[in-house]
Amino acid sequence: MNKYETLPNGLRVPKIGFGTWKIGGGNSADPSLDGWSLAALRSALALGYTHFDTAEIYARGHSEELTGQAVRETGVDRASLIITSKVSSANLGYRSVLDACAGSLRRLGMDYLDLYLIHWPPPAMPLEDTFRALNQLVEEGKVRHIGVSNFDVPLLRRSQTLCATPILTNQVPYSLGDRSYVKNGMLAYCQANDILLTAYSPVEQGGLKVNAALQSIADAHNATVQQIALAWLVQQKRVITIPMSGNPKHQADNLAAGEIVLSEEEMVELG
User: Structural domains in the chain?
Assistant: 12-203+234-245 (3.20.20.100)
Q: How many helices (H) and strands (E) does the chain have?
A: 11, 10
CB environment 213-249: b (16+ within 10 A), e (fewer) = ebeebbeebebbbbbbbbbbbbbbebbbbbbbbbeee
Classify residue 25 by burial, with Cβ atoms within 10 Å: 0-12, 13-18, 19+.
buried
Classify residue 127 by burial, with Cβ atoms within 10 Å: 0-12, 13-18, 19+.
middle
Question: What pLDDT is recorded for position 165?
Answer: 97
The amino acid present at 85, given as its one-letter code, is S
Question: What pLDDT is recorded for position 1?
Answer: 56
147: three-class secondary structure by DSSP: strand
Q: Rounded to 5 degrees, what are φ and ψ at 259?
A: -90, -15
Contact 43, 248 (CB under 8 A): yes
DSSP letter for each residue of 171-218: EEE-BTTB-HHHHTSHHHHHHHTT-EEEEESTTGGGT----HHHHHHH
Out of 4, 49, 58, 94, pick the active-site residue.
Answer: 58
The pLDDT tens digits along the chain (271 residues) read 569 999 998 999 999 999 999 999 999 999 999 999 999 999 999 999 999 999 999 999 999 999 999 999 999 999 999 999 999 999 999 999 999 999 999 999 999 999 999 999 999 899 999 999 999 999 999 999 999 999 999 999 999 999 999 999 999 999 999 999 999 999 999 999 999 999 999 998 778 888 999 999 999 999 999 999 999 999 999 999 999 999 999 999 999 999 999 999 999 999 8
Nearest to 195 by CA among 173, 164, 170, 163: 170
pLDDT in tens, 11-24: 999 999 999 999 99
Nearest to 225 by CA among 235, 240, 212, 215: 215
> Is-catalytic flag, 58?
yes
The amino acid present at 41, given as its one-letter code, is L
Question: What pLDDT is recorded for position 207?
Answer: 80
